[in-house]
Amino acid sequence: MKIYKYIDGKCNASGPEVKMLREKAGLSQEQLAAKLQLAGLNLNQKAISRIETGERIVADYELITLAEVLDATVNELLQI
């Protein structure tokens, strides 16, 4: 499968919003990873870092769980 880059060579559109909401909630990347793991999504701190910098693709099911844990909507994460 060919992966097409988003704006500025990024692999996702949600990274900056994930970072902003994580920081607003006062969570470190490690703490967010722990909350996601408790919600059933097995991501570690490195994966969170790569999402925030746009180096990692975010699957639709991951986006849903990120939104739930960050108390946001998928549309907010996608800046729609």
φ/ψ of residue 54, rounded to 5: 85, 10
23 in a structural domain: yes
Total structural domains in the chain?
A: 1
48 in a structural domain: yes
Q: Per residue in 18-29, pLDDT tens?
A: 999 999 999 999
9 in a structural domain: no
Question: Where residue 70 sits, what CATH number does that domain have?
Answer: 1.10.260.40
> Are 39 and 65 in contact, with CB atoms under 8 Å apart?
yes
Residue 41: give the domain boundaries: 14-77
Measured CA to CA, the distance from residue 13 to residue 54 in angstroms comes to 8
5 in a structural domain: no
67 in a structural domain: yes
Q: List for the chain the helix, strand, coil content (%; round to 5).
A: 60, 0, 40
Measured CA to CA, the distance from residue 44 to residue 80 in angstroms comes to 27
Q: Per residue in 48-57, pLDDT tens?
A: 999 999 999 9
20 in a structural domain: yes
Using the predicted structure, report yes or no on whether residue 80 has a pLDDT greater than 90.
no
